[in-house]
Each structure stands twice: as structure tokens, then as C-alpha cells.
Amino acid sequence: MVTPHLSYASGVSETPLLDETIGSQFDRTVAAFGERDALVDVPTERRWTYRELAEGVAAVALGLLESGVTKGDRVGIWSPNCAEWTLVQYATAKIGAILVNVNPSYRTHELEYVLNQAGVRTVVAMPTFKTSDYAAMLAQALPNCPTVKDVLLIGQDSWSELIETGFSSDRARLADIGAGLSPDDPINIQYTSGTTGFPKGATLSHHNILNNGFFVGELCHYTEEDRVCIPVPFYHCFGMVMGNLACTSHGGTMVIPGPSFDPKATLEAVAAERCTSLYGVPTMFIAELADPDFDSYDLSSLRTGIMAGSPCPINVMKQVIERMGMEEVSICYGMTETSPVSTQTRADDSLDRRVSTVGRVGPHLEVKVVDPVTGLTVPRGEAGELCTRGYSVMLGYWNQPEKTTEAIDAERWMHTGDLAVMDDEGYVSITGRIKDMVIRGGENIYPREIEEFLYTHPDILDAQVVGVPDAKYGEELMAWLRMKDGAEPLTTEAVHEFCRGKLAHYKIPRYVRTIDEFPMTVTGKIRKVELREIAVQQFGLGDAAPTPHG
């Protein structure tokens, strides 16, 4: 009997893993590309060469040392994107302190939890941004956070004094400290935004994130000539790993278009700084393409970029290639717990591969698709849960060994919770979250399939499909739609007519609503849980059968 080809793949590479710390790798880049642009903060009109950035990083690192921060201490950063964020990222790595990324959208209750759960010693924060008064929230939270010894507010005296102290300190200390650091040391804690309960702190090492940033950059063919526009948040792996570390490990330039995402500012930054690469989640690219002045921006410098964070609509991917000129744009897939990227499309992949899959396994990694019940690897072409193993898998959840064991099995496979299919050539397609799968009257329905179909409607800009409680079937489908400018909202009847004869009857959404903006996390992921909650309220479904996996 022939054993079926199983859904397992490993990433073969002639390029070895980097066996060094972030600090030592950064020093090598500075030595090689000292006079090239390293960092451009567009909104503040500041820019640094690699040599200048190294001096700034050293000043922050030495200032932290003088304030009492030592190897293993946790340093929290609570700020939107800015140059100081990057300085702190590399400064903490230089001295072996563990950077704790605090979500800029957090409020006092969540802030207290993270500061206490991680045992943060020092907090670096932007005083205010938009409607968030970080300084006031810190003042309110600190009496309940006994481990915090220092708060440094960017742009205020506490930050300036730290920099001044650092510049007057002996830089030789950093070399001595660096010699005592290991690539396997924990260097970063990132809190995953769980839909239930408190977030968990994914603990990542130099080895985890340096290599992931490097190999993502390798597959984008980065060199010192590349200039990467990074509108995605630094507090997330997308910004600080795929953005910053991919750049500094290749001598490229980090371009900050703004403190938070703004489509116009992003397009202006790409044009003004002649960026060769642009990052974003699908909703960001949708917003950029919809900008009324889109055709006025000179985007001819763009060659590549990364679209990730959530499933990428086919028509959006095609527009990114055709209208933005990003012919080598890459789809990346991963999660915070895997540093983050596990699979990636390559520049020479066909258009079909790049619009219908999340690519193949990355170098030095393994992926497999397993039956969620038995844990056995399924044959190619069958759906199951995607698992990842290799250098990128986190050390664990900070001080939560039980949660770590739930996510990483005894063989060190990280269970992603995502449903996937691997084809005969090893390309992976994400078909949804195990928790997003809708079970209607015993039929398993994957919202992604229906969303892709709805995108083909000429008036629909974006679509999200969720399961809502139903007394008869257990669950029913609901479609939330964003309409293109000038298009009239679609009625439920119109959507039914559009779907009829093209989708199986049980896949046609029973409920339809239009919405101006989807509720999103700060990383740009659409909060389907919130869409479900709104639907339950609007349609009075609270008394219906509970959603079994919502």
C-alpha cells in the first residue's frame, strides 16, 4: 500500500543561521555600512546614518545601565512608532535587558497587568498620543506596580537626562557586557491579544527574532540599497522584526512614515524617501489604494514589500502588484509565538501562488498540517491545524508554564490554531481559524471562502463573514460589508441574489449589514469577535443556541 504524501515540509537552506546576538550583528552592519542611511523618522524630519544610529543606541544603552538596569531586567516601551522606539529596541539588546512591548491601545487596567506580569523595572513612554494620555495613565497605574523603579517620558527631561548620561559614559562597557550575552538569552516579551482572558507574554530570544528578520529579508532579496517603509506597529513583530531587524541585518534603511497608520502619510513617505519596499496588512493596502490622490504619488521606486497579518484578498493583491508596482511583493504568514514568520512566498512565485497561498516554509523551519483531534499529519490537500517547529518557536509564555505546554507540545511543535491546507508542492493556504470555523447544522463552513467570493462583487470594498448563534442550526452566517465610495449599501436580498447559484445554499449569509469601518486591533487585524457581539445585539440573538467555538 502506498503511503499518501503527507502535509509536512522543511526549509532547506545553504545560508546558515546567525549564531550571534542582535547587538553583535548590529555592530557588523555599522562597520560595513556606517555612512549609509539607517533610520528616517519622516514626521519629525530626523535621519540617522548607521554610525549616528550606533552612537544613539550606545547612549540609550549606557544611560539605562547608569540608571541601574542590568541583564535580564525588563524594560517596557509604551509608545506609537518613533525613532526612540528603535533606539530602545537595540539599546536593550546591547545590554541584555528584556524589552517588553506594551500595546499603545492599552488602558490602565491592561497596563497594570502587563507591568506586573512581566515584572517591569523601567518604562519608556510617549507622554501623549491622540486621545491617549500615557503619562497620566502611568501615574494612575504605578501605585499598583511595585516592580517599576523608573519612568522615562520621551521628549521630556527624564529622557534627555538619560541620553546625556549615556553620551558621557564609557562605551567600552558595552563591549564587556556584550561578551557575556548569549544568542539564546530572552530579549523580548510580546503580549498576544487573546480574545478571552488576559494576554500572554510570548518570550523571544536574540536567536528567535534576529534570524527571523534576517531570513524574511533574504527572501525579499534585501541589500544595503533597500529602503523599507514601515507603517505597521513596532510593538508587534511585523514592525520590529520583519521591519527593523530585516533592515539592520542587511544594511537597509528603516523609514517611519508616521506614529500610526495613515494612508496618505504612508504614500507620501514612499514617494519622498524612494522606498523600495512597503509593509502592511490588507486593510492598510486597501486604504492606500482607495486614497483619492493615489495616482498623484510617484511609487516607481517600489520593488517589493510584505502583506501579512490576516488573509489577503485576491483582488487587493493584484492591485498592489499592478497599481503600486510591487511586482515582488511577498505574502508572509506567522504568529508572535514564532517570531513571527513561518511561511513566505518568493519573488519568483507565480501570480497565482502569491494570491492564493501564504507560500512555502521558511529556511531552517518545519511545518506540518495535523488532524486537530488525533494530532496525526494529514495527507496533502486535506485541511487541518498548521504547526511550526524550529529556531523561531518562542522560549515560552513568560511565567506561564501551563499555557506554554498547551501551545507547544513535547516535540516542540507550536500549534497555531489556524486551519490550513498544504498542496503537493508544499504551498500552504490558510482556510481560517479553528475558532472561526462556522458549524451550521453539522456543515463545517470556512468564512474565508465566502469572503473571497464577496470580493468579486463590483461594489464591495471589503467583507468579513462571522458565525452568529441560531436556535435551529446552532450557527448562521453573517456578512459585514464595506462598500466602495459612491456605492449604495447592499440589501440582504441583493447579496442573496448575487450568491444564488454560485455558492451552496448553506454558505449564503443569512444576515447582511454594511459598516463604515471594521473594529480592529492596533496591528490592523479585524476583530471578528466584536463583529459577532454587535450582530448578537442588533439581531437579538442572545437567546439563540450559543456559538460552540466563539
Q: Which helix (DSSP H) or strand (DSSP E) does residue 111 occupy? A: helix 108-118
- 415: its cell numbers: 500549534
Stretch 286-301: mean pLDDT: 97
Please state whether beta strands 98-101 and 74-78 pair in parallel, antiparallel, or not at all (unpaired). Answer: parallel
From CA 506, how far away is CA 504, in angstroms rounded?
6
Please state whether beta strands 227-229 and 414-422 pair in parallel, antiparallel, or not at all (unpaired). Answer: unpaired
From CA 324, how far away is CA 298, in angstroms rounded?
9
* pLDDT band at residue 434 under the 50/70/90 scheme: confident
pLDDT in tens, 323-382: 999 999 999 999 999 999 999 999 999 888 888 899 999 999 999 999 987 899 999 999
> CB burial class (10 A; 0-12, 13-18, 19+) of residue 223?
exposed
> CB burial class (10 A; 0-12, 13-18, 19+) of residue 80?
buried
Query: Would you state the pLDDT for residue 443?
Result: 76
Query: Would you state the pLDDT for residue 282?
Result: 86
Query: Would you state the pLDDT for residue 547?
Result: 39
From CA 225, how far away is CA 250, in angstroms rounded?
9
Query: Would you state the pLDDT for residue 522?
Result: 65
Q: Is the pLDDT of residue 258 over 50?
A: yes
Residue pair 191/101 in contact (Cβ under 8 Å)? The answer is yes
| Sequence-ordered list of residues with C-beta below 8 angstroms from that of 258, at least 6 positions apart, any chain | 42, 43, 81, 231, 265, 266, 269
Query: Would you state the pLDDT for residue 110?
Result: 87
CA distances (Å), origin 105, targets 163, 299, 463: 27, 31, 24
* pLDDT band at residue 445 under the 50/70/90 scheme: confident
- 103: its cell numbers: 500595546
CA distances (Å), origin 392, targets 363, 397, 429: 10, 14, 20
* pLDDT band at residue 124 under the 50/70/90 scheme: very high
Query: Would you state the pLDDT for residue 549?
Result: 38
pLDDT in tens, 353-369: 888 899 999 999 999 99
pLDDT in tens, 510-549: 999 999 999 987 667 788 889 999 999 999 888 764 433 3
Question: Domain 438-539 maps to which CATH number in 3.30.300.30, 3.40.47.10, 2.60.120.330, 3.40.50.1220?
Answer: 3.30.300.30
Per cent of the chain over pLDDT 90 is 81
pLDDT in tens, 133-170: 999 999 999 999 999 999 999 999 999 999 999 999 99
Name the least confident of 72-81, 220-229, 308-317, 319-328: 308-317
Output phi, psi for 217, to 5 deg.
Answer: -65, -35
Stretch 417-423: mean pLDDT: 94
- Give the residue extent of every domain in the chain: 22-422, 438-539
Pick the more confident residue, 195 or 409.
409
The most confident of the ranges 94-98, 130-134, 498-502 is 94-98
From CA 249, how far away is CA 206, in angstroms rounded?
13
Query: Would you state the pLDDT for residue 311?
Result: 65
Stretch 268-276: mean pLDDT: 98
Query: Would you state the pLDDT for residue 225?
Result: 98
* pLDDT band at residue 314 under the 50/70/90 scheme: confident
pLDDT in tens, 174-231: 999 999 999 999 999 999 865 445 789 999 999 999 999 999 999 999 999 999 999 9
Stretch 488-514: mean pLDDT: 93
Q: Work out the mean pLDDT of the chain and round it to a whole number.
A: 93
* pLDDT band at residue 241 under the 50/70/90 scheme: very high
Strand pairing partners for 48?
39
From CA 360, how far away is CA 306, in angstroms rounded?
15
From CA 139, how far away is CA 135, in angstroms rounded?
6
Residue pair 438/467 in contact (Cβ under 8 Å)? The answer is yes
Residue 315 CB: number of other CB atoms within 10 A? 16
pLDDT in tens, 47-59: 999 999 999 999 9
Domain 22-422 CATH class label: alpha beta
Query: Would you state the pLDDT for residue 422?
Result: 98
Residue pair 277/220 in contact (Cβ under 8 Å)? The answer is yes
Q: Computed from CA positions of residues 84, 90, 91, 93, in that sequence, does the dihedral angle turn out positive or negative?
A: positive
Name the least confident of 60-74, 185-199, 502-516: 185-199
Which residue from 340, 338, 407, 398 is spatially nearest to 201, judged by alpha carbons? 398
Per cent of the chain over pLDDT 70 is 96
